[in-house]
């Protein structure tokens, strides 16, 4: 299963303008929420906490986000990141850098 999902719409494929994306991260669980709210989370592909997905900025996606706004964190970004890029972004600074290996 993909960690980040991008859904293309007919309009997004025909426009040559730079497109922005919603970066949606599930910060609170949907357990105990009404079935309709859980359905919106499922439709967005947010099944686990701290899962991040990317969607083009459209009124439909904005409406879905508004239904679960208390459970998610939303940012607007220029391009979607791959799963590897998301993982690298979360990686902390190692605290040191190896400039040259010592001869053995």
List domains and CATH numbers for the chain.
Answer: 1-10+18-78 (3.30.1390.20)
Q: What pLDDT, on the 0 to 100 scale, is given for residue 15?
A: 52
The helix or strand, by DSSP H or E, that contains position 52, with its residue range, turns out to be strand 52-56
User: Which pTM does this prediction carry?
Assistant: 0.72
As a whole number, mean pLDDT of residues 20-28 equals 97
Q: What is the CA radius of gyration of the chain?
A: 18
The string of pLDDT tens digits covering residues 26-78 is 999 999 999 999 999 999 999 999 999 999 999 999 999 999 999 999 999 99
Question: Could you tell me the CA-to-CA distances from 6 to 24, 81, 92, 103 in Å, in that order?
Answer: 11, 10, 26, 47
* pLDDT surpassing 70 at residue 11: no
């Amino acid at each position: 299963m993909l960690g980040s999902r991008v859904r293309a719409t007919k309009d997004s494929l025909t426009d040559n303008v730079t497109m922005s994306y919603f970066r949606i991260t599930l910060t609170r669980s949907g357990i105990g929420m009404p079935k309709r709210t859980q359905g919106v989370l499922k439709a967005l592909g947010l099944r686990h906490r701290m899962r991040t997905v990317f969607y083009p900025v459209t009124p439909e996606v904005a409406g879905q986000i508004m239904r679960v706004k208390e459970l998610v964190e939303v940012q607007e970004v220029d391009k979607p990141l791959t799963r590897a890029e998301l993982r690298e972004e979360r990686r902390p600074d190692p605290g040191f850098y190896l400039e040259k290996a010592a001869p053995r």
